[in-house]
Amino acid sequence: MGTNLVILESPGKVKAISKYLGPDYTVIASNGHIIDLPAKELGVDIENDFKPTYKVIDNSGQAARILKKIQDMAKKSNRILIATDPDREGEAIGWHIAGRIVTKSKNIKRVIFNEITKRGIERGLQSEGEIDKNLVDSQQARRIMDRLVGYKISPFLWKTISNGLSAGRVQSVALRIICERDRDIKKFDPEEYWSIKADFTTSKEHFTAALFKINEADFKITSANDAENTISEIKRAKYSVSDISKTKLKKSPMPPFITSTLLQASVNKLGFSSKKTMQIAQQLYEGVDLGSKGVTGLITYMRTDSTRVSGDAIDEVRDYISRKFGVDYVSKSIRKFKSKKNIQDAHEAIRPTNVNLDPKKVQSFLSKEQLRLYKLIWTRFVATQMKEALFESTVIDISGGRFKFRISGRRNIFPGFQQVFSDTDIAVDNGDDEGKVAMPKNIDVGMIAGLRDVESDQHFTKPPPRFNEASLTKELEEQEIGRPSTYAAIIDRLIYQKYVEKKEKKLESTELGNLVNRILVENFDDIFNIRFTKRMEANLDKIEYGESNITEILNKFYKPFEKTLESVAKKTTDIKKATEEFLDKKCPDCGKGYLVSKWGKNGKFIACSNFPDCKYTSSIEGKDKTDREPAKTYGKCPKCLQGNLVQKKSRTGNVFIACDGYPQCKYIKNETVSVKCPEKNCDGTVKGKTTKKGRRFYGCTNFPNCSFASWNKPVEKNCSGCGYGILEEVNDKKTMKTVLVCPKCKLKHESS
């Protein structure tokens, strides 16, 4: 055993760090937190300056075994290095462990490895120091705040809605943001407007331009009648090319990734969820086996809000650009990016640890998903020190009478930083479609432009878009809610609690989520709002920077919170009644009480208002014993012979047929589909299949030779438009009915 003990947080880094440190070091991982607040009690002495009670986590004894092993190793070591992750949580994990280690010398030091490479390990060892107690106190304050909110408000939700629900200091504000956006969408009243475009011809060119000005002013056409009248007047005017302007434009690269921007880009460009992105980034940071090079960390630490990059890394990437693309592609001066205010600048931006390990060199060692994320990070970083892309922008105006039409476009003169995106098949940051406009070339000012045709298009203003994981992360960052380490966990928790559903990659609040949000906002608005949460995050930063102490901040938080709790406790019964919906129907069992819809751990159900004297209940989506329209049944259950087969929907949105006697009977009808594959030169059959996560889809039996696959149920019927061999059942969101759609040309057919 080595005389130096290194304690990590993640077991995934043990092998790589052991390789770099050599035989004089023994490396062990804690597997994350092993000491925390107790699971089944508050664990915070509010009357004694919020003193926390910490215990070894009871996860079937695993944490206790790990701690005992660390303690035994520490007794045999001359020096102990705490090398947990470089953030608040990592600092707290290290502090907890250090407090449980008893050695003769007590020689315990803190080291930080921002990258798992030889260079990163050596730098960490050279700058060893002490555990940052301010950082630990900041984490403790956050943990205590979250525990107080969870333990004081979650039981309130249990009493008023249903057991198993939870509230969170930051989580509930994120839910509020989603619910308020959904409310704005529902309230949105679209406004009609019309656009007009015209086809023109000169002696050498034919092109289309859009109506830009009327009487040299902006305009708004709000009805079909106005559009027709405007077109009539447009047709009477004579037109000529009134102006041609050309300007040079420069486009600069985006800053290197921080956690929030990486999550946004990964969602938008790769389609990864926030949780998946962080999991893959963790793997790239901890290290990948590169064959003869051994296990190597490919990126720097992925939880950061700083765009700072080390001087060595900048020199390395500028040298790489010069060798790979030529000196003309290297930015004239070192490009630096300003980080936002109130950031934790503990470590660098997210970048490759060695820019010379380009994606092509490591692709054989990475999984497909690891490679895609590494490409994204590598490409973004290389672009930061490349020259700007240069464009020539052209604007052509055609005028006649009161009207001015305009066509604009641009062409690339020098690719600059965009060249690296072309080389790695990653979509260009901030890309747009301006360059795709076909601009007339043989044209001069004063040329007569003959009007060939003019047409109008009706449009309606659109409501604000629903949040997806990328835009919600951006909103949380801009509102200064949460931290890099919490963005993915917040979204994942909301989905897990069924407060939010992900539909077509959009986050939509559920009925339960809206109810929870309404109750929390109505009763705890002073806690669950952006302003308060933002202020608390700033206070946590003050503790970290040594500007405030933990007791002062917790008192500021708890005293008004306590008064609110006392006030709300007096009206719990009334709040609960407000969550229930009376159906104006007598109970069929006791005949005395009325039926009421309530919330339970499995969702909404119908019960008797005489509970607990009458225990009548009924599933809303199953056998309905009220006068409501009963659910469509598909015969008796062949397994229990008592329940009816009804249509249900899974968490992922898949529709299936199952027994309404669940959970007593768990029968699910396996739907049989067998349709001839519509792809050319394929003699396979399309059949129902199931993904590893249990989601139903339909694919060809000749896979992988035939790649046909669809989430929608196929129907053996030819498309009347393009002749494609099948149609698919698709739910029409406007009519809420199932329609048949051709997957090839998207033509809708009536469902037979």
pLDDT for 320-345, tens place per residue?
999 999 999 999 999 988 876 555 55
For β-strands 644-649 and 727-732, DSSP reports them as unpaired
Of 20, 301, 329, 558, which is the active-site residue?
A: 301
Does 400 lie in the same domain as 383? Answer: no
Give CA–CA dist 748/739, Å, rounded. 7
- pLDDT of 627 reads 38
List Cβ neighbours of 293 (8 Å cut-off, separation of 6 or more).
none
Does 366 lie in the same domain as 285? Answer: yes
pLDDT digits (tens, 9 = 90+) for 422-440: 888 788 876 554 446 788 9
Q: Which one of 556, 574, 592 terminates a domain?
A: 574
Give CA–CA dist 589/626, Å, rounded. 12
Instruction: Give the angle 633-636-638 at the CA atoms, nearest 5°.
Output: 135
Is residue 517 assigned to a domain?
yes
For residues 571, 573, 579, 584, the Cα torsion angle rounded to the nearest 10 degrees is -130
Token pair 């109505």 is found at 522
Does 158 lie in the same domain as 215? Answer: no
Torsion sign over Cα 201, 205, 206, 207: negative
Does 277 lie in the same domain as 214? Answer: no
List Cβ neighbours of 618 (8 Å cut-off, separation of 6 or more).
595, 605, 606, 607, 624, 625, 626
Other Cβ atoms closer than 10 A to 509: 25
Identify which of 405-419, 574-588, 658-672, 693-707 has the greatest average pLDDT.
Answer: 405-419
For the chain, count helices (H), then strands (E): 19, 34
Does 736 lie in the same domain as 700? Answer: yes
- What is the CATH classification number for the domain harbouring 295? 1.10.290.10
The whole-number average pLDDT for the span 264-277 is: 91
List the single range of 212-221, 353-362, 585-594 with lowest mean pLDDT. Answer: 585-594
Give CA–CA dist 450/206, Å, rounded. 9
Is residue 654 assigned to a domain?
no
Give CA–CA dist 250/233, Å, rounded. 40
Confidence of residue 651 (pLDDT cuts 50, 70, 90): very low
CA 272 to the chain's CA centroid: 8
- What is the CATH classification number for the domain harbouring 56? 3.40.50.140
**DSSP H or E stretch at residue 108:** strand 108-110
Q: Where are the beta strands (DSSP E) in 612-691?
A: 617-619, 633-636, 644-649, 655-659, 668-669, 674-676, 685-690
Token pair 């497909």 is found at 368
Does 150 lie in the same domain as 124? Answer: no
Q: Where are the beta strands (DSSP E) in 464-529?
A: 500-503, 506-509
- Of 444 and 696, which is predicted with more confidence? 444
Q: Quick one: angle between helices 88-99 and 133-160, nearest 10?
A: 100
Q: Cα dist. 440→208, 241, 414, 465, 501 in Å?
A: 9, 12, 21, 35, 48
Q: Cα dist. 168→390, 492, 565 in Å?
A: 48, 13, 15
Is residue 634 assigned to a domain?
no
Q: Cα dist. 301→85, 93, 268, 287 in Å?
A: 8, 17, 22, 11
Q: Which one of 387, 408, 438 terminates a domain?
A: 387
Give CA–CA dist 604/649, Å, rounded. 14
- pLDDT of 706 reads 82
Question: In this structure, what token pair is assigned to residue 79?
Answer: 């020096």
496 in active site: no
Rg of the chain on CA atoms, in Å? 32
List the single range of 124-138, 281-295, 461-475, 616-630 with lowest mean pLDDT. Answer: 616-630
Confidence of residue 625 (pLDDT cuts 50, 70, 90): very low
Residue 409 contacts residue 443 (beta carbons within 8 Å): no
Residue 281 has phi, psi (to 5 degrees) of -60, -40
Identify which of 28-32, 48-52, 429-433, 659-663 has the greatest average pLDDT.
Answer: 48-52
Does 398 lie in the same domain as 331? Answer: no
- pLDDT of 185 reads 93
Average pLDDT over the chain reads 86
Percent of the chain residues past pLDDT 90, beyond the cut: 47
Residue 254 contacts residue 350 (beta carbons within 8 Å): no
- pLDDT of 579 reads 83
Token pair 């007096």 is found at 570
Other Cβ atoms closer than 10 A to 639: 15
Give CA–CA dist 494/486, Å, rounded. 12
Confidence of residue 751 (pLDDT cuts 50, 70, 90): low
Confidence of residue 630 (pLDDT cuts 50, 70, 90): very low
pLDDT digits (tens, 9 = 90+) for 15-45: 889 988 988 999 999 988 999 999 888 999 9
Does 586 lie in the same domain as 566? Answer: no
- pLDDT of 42 reads 92
Question: In this structure, what token pair is assigned to residue 647?
Answer: 């249509």
**DSSP H or E stretch at residue 487:** helix 487-496
- What is the CATH classification number for the domain harbouring 424? 2.70.20.10
SS3 content of the chain, % helix, strand, coil (to 5): 35, 25, 40
Other Cβ atoms closer than 10 A to 72: 10
Residue 59 contacts residue 92 (beta carbons within 8 Å): no
> Does pLDDT of 402 surpass 90?
yes
Is residue 662 assigned to a domain?
no
Bridge partners (DSSP) listed for residue 468: 506
Q: Which one of 369, 387, 405 terminates a domain?
A: 387
Instruction: Give which of 49, 145, 142, 132 is closest to 540, Cα–Cα.
Output: 142
Provide the number of structural domains found in the chain.
Answer: 6
List Cβ neighbours of 126 (8 Å cut-off, separation of 6 or more).
none
Give CA–CA dist 550/537, Å, rounded. 13
Does 55 lie in the same domain as 112? Answer: yes
For residue 119, the enclosing domain spans: 4-131
> Does pLDDT of 250 surpass 90?
yes
Is residue 640 assigned to a domain?
no
pLDDT digits (tens, 9 = 90+) for 192-224: 999 999 999 998 899 999 999 999 999 999 999
List the single range of 389-403, 423-437, 492-506, 690-704 with lowest mean pLDDT. Answer: 423-437
List the single range of 34-48, 243-257, 443-457, 698-712 with lowest mean pLDDT. Answer: 698-712
Token pair 């280690």 is found at 101
Question: In this structure, what token pair is assigned to residue 467?
Answer: 């949040």
- pLDDT of 348 reads 86
Is residue 648 assigned to a domain?
no
DSSP symbol at 693: T
Give CA–CA dist 81/109, Å, rounded. 5
Give CA–CA dist 420/416, Å, rounded. 8
- pLDDT of 434 reads 47
Residue 355 contacts residue 320 (beta carbons within 8 Å): yes
CA 61 to the chain's CA centroid: 34
- pLDDT of 433 reads 45
Does 503 lie in the same domain as 441? Answer: no
Is residue 520 assigned to a domain?
yes
Does 470 lie in the same domain as 563? Answer: yes
Total length of the chain = 752
Instruction: Give the angle 275-280-284 at the CA atoms, nearest 5°.
Output: 145
DSSP symbol at 267: I
Does 357 lie in the same domain as 395? Answer: no
Cis peptide before 612 (omega within 30 of 0): yes
For residues 172, 173, 178, 181, the Cα torsion angle rounded to the nearest 10 degrees is 140
- What is the CATH classification number for the domain harbouring 489? 1.10.460.10
Is residue 646 assigned to a domain?
no
- pLDDT of 737 reads 64
Torsion sign over Cα 514, 520, 526, 531: negative
Which residue type occupies 386? M
Confidence of residue 628 (pLDDT cuts 50, 70, 90): very low
